């Protein structure tokens, strides 16, 4: 059994649940602090941990509770306040912290929250390390006094200088970027980007000749991702068209992903961003081995467009940690997901939505072309995604009706389509994705597979 398959708390992107309910109840959160502390103290006598959080109303008490557990076990805790997930990855490495902790549930609704862990190197912890910490969490939770009051511990004090360091890091990553005469709309999803984008774009608008409209920058604890952000790119697309802007940017709650919108009001997803970035890197002699890593969810059209440019597409399972692992295996300079989570290892250790936005803005300015023009030959195959709520995650290939429905789809679509059926790593969902030239067959098989899953496992 692999570490990932044995997980009970950690998904593909940390621990995630409804805030206040197991495993994000105060007692378990405190135990996470204790477990992380004990893991660090095996190798370091006086560990230092950096924390950051998003704008959910539960984030402050979760941060305070987790910090209390860390301090109880002798760890020094410092907080960067409301910052993006990639900010914590950068700051942990740059300032010599032994670990970084992010309190966020990314694109999930405000009721949810989560805990993500980074190592001193700025990368997410390996599966085996998270599994070992998970065992310690259960060990401590069984012995810790039950904590019923989520507001029992004092709030962590934030160090605003850390946020400023991250903004400087972003500016330094794309030297010479000019936004002059650009008209940009940026949707910050009432999330962590709302604390960073105003100062970042103020500083980048050096000559004052850019028009930058920042939307959804007034978080109230409950409006994060609410009808906005990277899960709703149609929102910024409408705004771009209404405002006659050149480009739209939209981030998720913790701003580790970015989606775009063109002047025609069209959505530009992570596949198109990968295509633009891959061609630019290849032209500049920076695309090592002429390979790009995407996931099983990326469209067949991306693979065909890259091939026309002499670039090979390698696929990894869904999840940025798996994309990164395949990138390291392939020695790739670029990788990412259709959802807008893009990895530039020569620039940062983690996917960063704000950094992706700056890279694209720089690329567009240098090329003198719009994203639509740069990806005009990207023919997107029709694709359908059906989510099925499940009560448990039983291996899908062990369910005869599901396996039969998948075989039937494969037999009919053959080389003209692709079928991916998997569980979400962060939610109680089975995802059925099919892309094919024949839209009727695509929808029919997606519905049949989803129905088979629903009949066996439906919540």
The pLDDT tens digits for 25-60 are: 999 999 999 999 999 999 999 999 999 999 999 999
In tens, the pLDDT along 369-387 reads 999 999 999 999 999 999 9
- Residue the block writes with tokens 């405190």: 30
The secondary structure element, H or E, covering residue 30 is helix 26-41
d(CA 257, CA 233): 12
Cis ω before 23 (30° cut-off from 0): yes
Instruction: Tell me: pLDDT of 355 over 50.
Output: yes
d(CA 322, CA 384): 23
Structure tokens at 323: 């994309």
The secondary structure element, H or E, covering residue 187 is strand 183-187
Structural domains of the chain sorted by starting position, each given as residue range(s) with its CATH number in brackets: 10-162 (3.40.120.10), 181-268 (3.40.120.10), 270-374 (3.40.120.10), 383-457 (3.30.310.50)
Residue 279: predicted pLDDT: 98
Residue 55 and residue 113 in contact, taking contact as beta carbons nearer than 8 Å: no
Residue 281 and residue 318 in contact, taking contact as beta carbons nearer than 8 Å: no
Residue 1: predicted pLDDT: 28
By annotation, the residues acting in catalysis are: 106
d(CA 453, CA 174): 46
d(CA 350, CA 102): 13
d(CA 314, CA 291): 7
- The alpha carbon dihedral of 173, 177, 179, 180 has a sign of positive
Residue 437 CB contacts under 8 Å (≥ 6 apart), including other chains: 381, 382, 416, 417
Instruction: Tell me: pLDDT of 87 over 70.
Output: yes
d(CA 364, CA 377): 17
Residue 427 phi, psi dihedral angles, 5° rounding: -140, 165
Average pLDDT, stretch 294-315? 95
Residue 2: predicted pLDDT: 35
- Start-to-end CA distance of the chain, whole Å, equals 26
In tens, the pLDDT along 183-200 reads 999 999 999 999 999 999
In tens, the pLDDT along 308-326 reads 999 999 999 988 999 999 9
pTM for this predicted structure? 0.90
Structure tokens at 424: 């979400």
Annotate 392-417 with b (16+ C-beta within 10 A) or e (fewer). Answer: eeeebeebeebeebbeebeeebeeeb
Residue 165 CB contacts under 8 Å (≥ 6 apart), including other chains: 91, 94, 95
Reported confidence tier of residue 295, pLDDT bands at 50, 70, 90: very high
**Number of DSSP helices (H) and strands (E) in the chain, helices first:** 14, 18
d(CA 326, CA 148): 43
Instruction: Tell me: pLDDT of 4 over 60.
Output: no
Residue 216 and residue 249 in contact, taking contact as beta carbons nearer than 8 Å: no
How many other CB atoms sit within 10 Å of the CB of residue 1?
A: 5
Report DSSP state, residue 393.
-
């Amino acid at each position: 059994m692999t570490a990932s398959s044995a997980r009970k708390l950690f998904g593909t992107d940390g621990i995630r649940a409804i805030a206040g309910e197991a495993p994000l109840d105060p007692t378990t959160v405190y135990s996470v602090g204790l477990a992380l502390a004990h893991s660090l103290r095996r190798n370091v006598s006086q560990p230092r941990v950096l924390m950051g959080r998003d704008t959910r109303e539960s984030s402050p008490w979760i941060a305070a509770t987790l910090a209390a557990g860390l301090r109880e076990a002798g760890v020094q805790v410092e907080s960067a306040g409301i910052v993006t997930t990639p900010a914590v990855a950068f700051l942990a490495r740059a300032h010599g912290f032994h670990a970084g902790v992010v309190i966020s549930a990314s694109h999930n609704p405000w009721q949810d929250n989560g805990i993500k862990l980074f190592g001193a190197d700025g990368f997410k912890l390996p599966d085996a390390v998270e599994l070992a910490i998970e065992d310690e969490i259960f060990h401590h939770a069984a012995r810790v006094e039950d904590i019923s009051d989520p507001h029992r511990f004092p709030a962590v004090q934030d160090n605003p200088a850390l946020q400023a360091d991250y903004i400087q890091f972003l500016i330094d990553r794309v030297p010479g970027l000019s936004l002059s005469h650009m008209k940009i709309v940026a949707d910050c999803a009432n999330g962590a980007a709302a604390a960073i984008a105003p100062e970042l774009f103020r500083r980048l608008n050096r000559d004052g000749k850019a028009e930058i409209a920042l939307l959804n920058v007034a978080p109230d604890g409950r409006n994060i991702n609410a009808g906005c952000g990277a899960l709703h790119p149609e929102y910024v697309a409408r705004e771009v068209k209404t405002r006659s802007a050149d480009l739209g940017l939209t981030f998720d709650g913790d701003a580790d992903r970015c989606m775009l919108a063109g002047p025609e009001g069209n959505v530009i997803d992570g596949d198109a961003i990968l295509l633009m970035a891959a061609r630019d890197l290849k032209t500049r002699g920076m695309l090592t081995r002429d390979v790009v890593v995407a996931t099983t969810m990326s469209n067949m059209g991306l693979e065909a467009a890259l091939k026309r440019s002499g670039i090979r597409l390698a696929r990894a399972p869904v999840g940025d940690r798996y994309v990164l692992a395949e990138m390291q295996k392939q020695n790739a300079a670029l990788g990412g997901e259709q959802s807008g989570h893009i990895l530039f290892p020569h620039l940062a250790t983690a996917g960063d939505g704000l950094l992706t936005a700056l890279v694209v803005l720089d690329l567009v300015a240098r090329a003198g072309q719009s994203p639509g023009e740069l990806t005009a030959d990207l023919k997107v195959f029709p694709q359908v995604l059906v989510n099925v709520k499940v009560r448990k995650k039983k291996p899908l290939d062990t369910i005869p009706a599901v396996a039969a429905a998948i075989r039937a789809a494969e037999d009919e679509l053959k080389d003209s389509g692709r079928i991916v059926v998997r569980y979400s790593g962060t939610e109680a969902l089975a995802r059925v994705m099919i892309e094919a030239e024949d839209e009727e067959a695509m929808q029919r098989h997606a519905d049949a597979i989803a129905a088979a899953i629903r009949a066996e496992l439906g919540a």
